[in-house]
Amino acid sequence: MQSVHDYETEMVQYGFEVVRQSLKAAELAVSDRIVTNIMMKSFFGWLIDCHILK
């Protein structure tokens, strides 16, 4: 029974690690998207201010 317990413990730890990695990836994707949106708004604001898109 100890081997079953050890296996279950490893699977739980593995599951938590996968969740942690997934959360990190999601946080990076969101922060990258926020930065991209800010940069795009700044760029297009500059284009409008320079009368390029008017």
What predicted TM-score, i.e. pTM, was given to this entire model? 0.54
**What is the distance, to the nearest Å, from the Cα of residue 46 to the centroid of all Cα atoms in its chain?**
28
Give the residue ranges of DSSP H helices in 1-54: 2-49
Q: How far apart (Å, rounded) are the C-alpha atoms in residues 34 and 41?
A: 11
Write out pLDDT tens, residues 21-47.
998 998 888 888 888 888 888 888 887
| Residue 23 tokens, joined | 């959360």
Higher-confidence position of 52 and 43:
43
Q: Where are the domains of the chain?
A: 1-54
pLDDT at 54 over 60: no
